[in-house]
A and B are shown apart, each in its own frame.
Chain A
Amino acid sequence: MKKIATGNKAIAEAVKQALPNVVAAYPITPQTEIVETIADYVTSGQMKSRYIPVESEHSAMAACIGASITGVRTFTATSAHGLLYMHEMTNWAAGARLPIVMANVNRSLGPGWNIWAEHTDAMQERDTGWLQVYVSTVQEAYDTTLMAFRIAEHNDVLLPVMVNLDGFSLSHIMQPLDTVEPGDFIPPIHLPHAIDTKNPTGYGGLTGPDQHFRFRWEIEHSMRDAVKVIAATEKDFAERFGRSYGPTENYRCEDADVVLIAMGTFGKEAEVAIDILREEGIKAGSMRLRWFRPFPNLDIAGKEVVVIDRDYSFGYGGIVAHEIMAKNQCEVYSVIAGLGGQEVTYDDMAAFVRTRRMGEEFWFGVSGHV
C-alpha cells in the first residue's frame, strides 16, 4: 500500500505489523514520534500490545528485558542521551541473549543541547553485542524494522538489533512508503531459554571466569552466524516484496578508482556526488555501510577510500574510517562531517573526493586538515 510517511512513522508502522507483545518506552527528541504513534495504535486498539510508559530509558530497556525473558516479542525506541542512559541495560540485553528490537534515532550528545543528527550515540554501543544497522530512506527504515525482528529472534542469532536512522534528516522527513502484508515473513517467536515456572532456572547469577568467557564467545559466534541470517532474511524479503539491500549498498563501484563510504542519509546522498564526479571523468563510486555490526567485508581492494564519519573517537579518529582501515589494511582519507546536524551537501561530498589527501584527516567546515 503506497503512502507518504516520515522515518519515525515508517518505523511505527513496521512495529505495528510485527506486533510485539510489549513495548516499553520513554520519550526523547527526535524519537518521540515513534512511541507516540505506537501509544496511539495501542490505545485505539489497532495494536494489541502492552505499552509500558516507563520513567526512564534505563527502565525502558529493563522492562523490555523482563518482558523478553518470558518469551515474547519486545520493542523500544530511543535516541542519544536516552541510549546512553540505558547503556548498562543494553549490555544486559545482549548478554542475556534477548532478541529485543530498538529503533535509535541518531542524535548528538550534550553539552550543549543539540538535537540534530550524529552517529556518536550508537557508536558508544558498538561493543555491547547488539546488531546495528543504519538506514537511509523512509522505505528502508520500514523494511529494515520488519527484518530486524526476524533476524533478532532467529535461534542462530538471539541477539538484540538496533535500527539506526538519522535524527530529523530521516526521522522527520516525508518520503513515499510502500507497506507490505508481512504474513509469515516474521515467524512466531520461540525463545529457548524463556522463563518456565514448571522448570525453574536461574538467570544471570554468579558466574565464574570459565563460564563467563564461554558466554562471551557464544555471543561472538552468534554475531558471525548473524551474517548468514541477515543475508537469508534480506533474500527472502526481496523475493516476497521486491526490495533488496545487503550489508552495503554499492553505487558505481565496479570500475571505480576511488570509493566514498558513509552511513545513513549521507551514504545515500553520496550517490549524487558520484554522478557529478563521473561527469567530470573521475572514476568514483560510493558504498553505503548499512550493517555496522556484524561488520561486513568490503570489496575495496586496490581502490582509494574516502570515509565520511558522522562520529568521532577523541584521541583516535573517525570511528568508521578506523574500523575500515583495521579490517582492510588500507589507507583512507578520513572526513569528519555532519556532527550535530552540520549540513553537508552532495557538492561538499564531491569536493571531499576531488581534494582527497590519502592518509589524512579532514574536519569539514572547521580548520581543514589535522
Chain B
Amino acid sequence: MIIAEIPKEEYIKKCTSACAGCSSSLTLRYVLKAAGPDTVLVVPACCTSVIQGIYPNTAMNVPVYNVAFAAAAACASGMSEAFSGMGRKTHVIVYAGDGGTLDIGIQSMSGAFERGTDFLYICYDNEAYGNTGMQRSGATPLGAKTTTTPTGKTVEKKDIDAIAAAHHLEYMATACSAYPLDIYKKVAKALTFRGPTFIHILAPCPPGWRYPTEKTIEIGKLAVKSGMWVLYEREHGKLTISPPSKAAMKKPIPLEDYLTPQGRFAGINPQSLETLKQHLTANLKKLAVEEAEP
C-alpha cells in the first residue's frame, strides 16, 4: 500500500482549533480514514476535546462522545456492549492523550482490557498534559522540562506498552504521527480483531516540546531514527518491528540529533542524558532479541 491509496474521505474538517503544527490532529485524520464512517470516537479530556471546536460547531464528521477524564475506556465498554447487543458493528475507538491513559485513565483502560471490551484504545502521546499548558505526566521522558518539572523530569517515562501487553491483547502496536501510512495500516488491522486492541502513537507537540511548527514531522522522524521511539506490532504476543524502526535500529542516529532541536531538553544534565542513552540501547537490544527469539 502507498500513501496515495489512503481514502480521500475526510472525517476531520479543515476548521479545527488545533495549534499550528499539531501532530495529534494529523494522527486522528489517518485514524479516522482507516476506521471509516461507522465509527464513534470516545474522547476524554485532552487536546482533542478542544480541537473539535466550540458547540454548536464541530470539525468532526463522525460522532464524538466527549467524556470525563478517567472515564473513556469504561464509557467505551458500555457503548460497545450496547452496539453489540443491537447487532451493530460500529467501531468504538477511544482517542485519549497520555495523561488520560497513563495516569488518570489507567484504571478504566485496564478494566476494559481485562473484561474483553470490543474496542480500539488509541493513546496519542505528546508526553505531557498539553491541553492544560504542558504539565508533566507519567509519559514525560526523563530530563524533559515541563511547567511542573522546570529543571527537567527526574524520573523516567512509564512503560505503558508493557502494562498493556500484560493484558495479553490480541493486537497492540506503537506508531508515530510522522508515519501516516503506518498509522493507517495499524488502525485498519486493529479494527479487524474482536476484543480490546491498543495503539500507542507518539505525537510531537510544537508549543509543548518547544520546536518550530514546521518541524513537527521532522521531530517525529528523529524520534524513530534515534531509536528513542520504536515502531512495532504485537500480534497474539508476537513482536514484529515495523520497517522504519527496523532500518533505524541498524544504525541509530545520535540521540542528541533528536533532543537538541527541542527546547524542553535544553540544558539536560549529563547524567539524565547518559541514562536516556543507556536505556535506549538496552530497549533496542531487548526488542531485537525478542523479535528474533519469540
Contact = CB atoms under 8 A, between A and B. Distances in A.
Contacts of B173: none
A54 B55 contact: no
A66 B76 contact: yes
Given A50-B82, A50-B84, A55-B111, A208 B77 contact: no
B62 A200 contact: yes
B54 interface: yes
B82 A21 contact: yes
Given A53-B115, A200-B62, A62 B52 contact: no
A58 B75 contact: no
A24 interface: yes
B108 A58 contact: yes
Given A66-B79, A72-B85, A92 B40 contact: no
Contacts of B68: 62, 88-89, 92
Interface residues of B, number: 46
A279 B85 CA distance: 59
Contacts of B76: 66
A175 interface: no
Contact of B108 (A59, A70, A205, A206): A59
B161 interface: no
A159 interface: no
B86 interface: yes
B75 A52 contact: no
Contact of B65 (A55, A63, A195, A211): A195
A56 interface: yes
A66 B74 contact: yes
Interface string A161-193: 000000000000000000000000000000000
Contact of B75 (A55, A63, A208): A63
A203 B111 contact: no
A205 B55 contact: yes
Contacts of A58: 70-71, 74, 108
Contacts, number: 158
B53 A56 contact: no
Interface in A250-291: none
Contacts of B60: 200, 202
Nearest to A91: B68
A62 B213 CA distance: 36
A205 B53 contact: yes
A124 to B, nearest CB: 18
Contact of B64 (A65, A68, A74, A202): A202
B66 A203 contact: yes
A49 B82 CA distance: 9
Nearest to B83: A70
A197 B39 contact: yes
A66 B58 contact: no
Contacts of B114: 55
A195 B40 contact: yes
A148 interface: no
Q: Which of A49, A65, A88, A198 has the most CB of B within 10 A?
A: A65
Interface in B37-68: 37-40, 42, 49-50, 52-56, 58, 60-68
Interface of A: 21-22, 24, 49-50, 52-56, 58-60, 62-72, 74, 88-89, 92, 195-198, 200-208, 211
13 contacts: A54-B77, A58-B71, A59-B111, A65-B75, A65-B78, A68-B78, A68-B82, A88-B70, A89-B68, A200-B63, A202-B63, A206-B49, A208-B54
